[in-house]
Amino acid sequence: MRKRFLLLNVVFAALAAAAMPSLAAYPEKPIRLIVPSAPGGAPDILMRALATQMSQQMGVPIVIDNKPGGSYVIGTMDLVRSPADGYTLAYGNIVSLATNQSLLANVPYDVDRDLTLVGNVLRAVNLMVVNNSVPVKNVSELVAYAKKNPGKIAFASDGNGTTAHLGLELFKSMTGTFMLHVPYRAATAAITDVISGNAQLMMANTPVTGPHVQAGRVRALGISASQRSPAYPEVPTIAEQGVAGFEVVAWGGLVGPAKMPAEVVTRLNAEMRKALATPVVQERFRNLGIEAAPSTPEEFRELARLEAIKWAKVVKFSGAKVD
């Protein structure tokens, strides 16, 4: 009788194991990676580099799906409505995970309730650039020119709530200047208008601005980090040019819908870290002036929490709003 009982237990255990999806089985089909911005911008370029390497490691295609618009809300809501099975992921960053909370009147998702944070991927600094016809060579001259010509300078951004937007709102509040904000749906469109002179100023991630600085199409005035960038050592920081304490650093990583299985999150975080450590991805990031900055899911959530607090203060004292 005892042997029969043990045999039945073994059979039931085997049947239960067969009915449960195993971690080894994931992934079994292509993964969709939503990038809530237009093709050609910094998030798109960087996520494609990461996705290509992760796809090779995991043995399934990782397909980029660009969903621009609405300050990252459109793409993020697509993710929120998707099954939490690990086959739909998205790029989540300082906009979707932090600044939207204080900048937008009605955010249709809650970071803690509706999203699973897989891990941070990158850290990026911004280059402040001007159209070549603007008669300034450095930040001090920009401040002086803006004060003499209030409202004459229009600064472009890749959308409300991005570091290109709020970084310059912070700059305005710290320097006592008045400049007009012109938001675009994509960074590529914004920098194109700065080059043409339809807008005069922009402060965006180095993958967007750097190539145009190197080609002489725009002039670099300063870097947004607290220290000079190894990729642009000749460009002084904005802080060292008289705006003491100024620092703006963008970040972003992988997120999923709420309640993703813990083992899937662990697998994705491990594959993300492995990909970021490869020479090919590191070189791609380095060439764009981006720092790979992998984190645990817990560290990523804490980063988002602290940055939401920081930028809420910036929005409040700068008077930034959705235009």
Q: Are residues 118 and 204 in the same domain?
A: no
pLDDT of residue 159: 82
Low-confidence residues of the chain: pLDDT under 50: 2-3, 5-23
User: Are the CB atoms for 160 and 69 separated by under 8 Å?
Assistant: no
Q: What's the N-to-C CA distance of the chain in angstroms?
A: 77
Domain identity same for 135 and 225:
yes
106 and 198 both lie in a single domain: no
Q: Give the pLDDT confidence score for residue 60 in this predicted structure.
A: 98
Q: Which residues span the domain enclosing 297?
A: 29-122+250-318
- Are residues 59 and 36 part of one domain? yes
Supply the pLDDT for residue 323. 53
Domains of the chain: total: 2
Q: What is the pLDDT of residue 16?
A: 44
| Residue 112 sits in the same domain as residue 258 | yes
Say if residues 235 and 222 touch (Cβ distance below 8 Å): yes
Tell me, yes or no, whether 140 lies in a domain.
Answer: yes
- Tell which phi-psi region holds residue 260, choosing left (phi > 0), alpha (psi between -120 and 50) or beta: beta
pLDDT tens readout for residues 148-159: 999 999 999 988
Does residue 56 share a domain with residue 110? Answer: yes
- Residue 237 shares a structural domain with residue 139: yes
Residue 9 resides in a domain? no
- Indicate which CATH number applies to the domain containing 89: 3.40.190.150
Please give the pLDDT value at position 231. Answer: 84
The pLDDT of residue 162 is: 85
